[in-house]
């Protein structure tokens, strides 16, 4: 991507058929610099994920996997980790689709009022009882295993979730105005995550339970699990009787 940007500072963006807007010239140099410095990680402090995501949002699902306008090499089931790879070569004449995708990303960020170097933690968040919690991870455009996103609640009748309204900013983008905030609202995805090892001393495990242990918004611990996930503060799983006793909060006996 860095080589593709060399020597290019602006891109003339055409108008899609039927669009009432006028064509424009977009300065892509700052966005190129952001991508050049990004290490590909979707952590809270990284600038780059938002620009890349908005670039990818111009492509459909098959194009994200197959050889074409984006990739030089298609996804190979025998090499699932390192394919697809390599940017498709620029056409010998005419506009470069890759740079046009980048210009489109810059336009979307401008429409959202976000700088091209916005960090993921400033742009992606969960709203928990009115508290904004920054969330790391990616969505279906990003190719990450820490998968997070937004979807209308289909299996819960919680009115607090139904009351959340998003005003999407641009076609094919998940950037939205949510009340006074702007960015990617997250309400699903990585919910329970466990890292487990079987050792000579028994199982050793660390976990995240992202959505909280309680639905009671007045509970002091309502936000704790989501905030610990945001901070990557793993919880060690109690396994032995002694570990369980040390972590016990209260005991409830059920008979019947």
Domains of the chain, by residue range, sit at 2-116, 192-247
CA 89 and chain centroid, separation: 27
Enter the tokens of residue 232: 């990557």
Query: In whole angstroms, what is the distance from residue 161 CA to residue 163 CA?
Result: 5
Looking at residue 154, its pLDDT comes to 60
| Residue-level pLDDT at 118 | 98
Helices 97-112 and 49-56 cross at an angle (nearest 10°) of: 120
Structure confidence at residue 171 (pLDDT): 87
Could you give the CA distance from residue 173 to residue 162 in angstroms, rounded to a whole number?
A: 21
Predicted TM-score (pTM) of this structure: 0.86
pLDDT given for residue 116 in this prediction: 96
**Cβ(181)–Cβ(175) below 8 Å:** no
75, 66 contact by CB (below 8 A): yes
- Of 152, 14, 6, 187, nearest to 94 by C-alpha is 14
Tell me how far CA of residue 194 lies from CA of 22, 119, 215, in angstroms: 50, 26, 22
* Phi, psi for 106 (deg, rounded to 5): -60, -40
Spans of the chain, pLDDT less than 50: 17-21
Residue 121 corresponds to which tokens in the numbers above? 């933690």
Model pLDDT, residue 17 = 43
Which pLDDT score, from 0 to 100, does residue 161 have? 60
């Amino acid at each position: 991507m860095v080589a593709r940007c060399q020597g290019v500072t602006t891109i003339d963006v055409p108008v899609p058929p039927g669009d009432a807007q006028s064509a424009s010239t977009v300065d892509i140099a700052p966005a190129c610099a952001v991508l050049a410095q990004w290490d590909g990680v979707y952590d809270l402090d990284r600038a780059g994920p938002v620009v890349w995501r908005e670039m990818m949002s111009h492509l459909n699902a098959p194009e994200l996997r197959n050889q074409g306008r984006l990739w030089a090499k298609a996804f190979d089931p025998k090499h699932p980790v390192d394919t697809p790879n390599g940017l498709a070569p620029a056409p010998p004449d005419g506009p470069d689709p890759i740079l046009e995708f980048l210009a489109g990303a810059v336009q979307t960020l401008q429409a959202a009022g976000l700088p091209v170097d916005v960090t993921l933690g400033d742009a992606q968040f969960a709203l928990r009882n009115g508290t904004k919690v920054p969330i790391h991870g990616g969505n279906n455009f990003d190719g990450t295993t820490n998968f997070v996103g937004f979807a209308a609640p289909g299996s819960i009748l919680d009115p607090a979730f139904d009351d959340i309204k998003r005003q999407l900013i641009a076609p094919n983008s998940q950037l939205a105005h949510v009340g006074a905030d702007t960015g990617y609202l997250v309400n699903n995805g990585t919910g329970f995550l466990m890292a487990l090892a079987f050792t000579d001393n028994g199982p050793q495990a660390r976990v995240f339970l992202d959505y909280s242990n309680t639905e009671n918004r007045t509970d002091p611990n309502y936000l704790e699990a989501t905030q610990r996930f945001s901070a990557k503060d793993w919880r060690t799983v109690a396994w032995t009787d002694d570990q369980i006793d040390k972590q016990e909060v209260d005991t409830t006996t059920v008979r019947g």
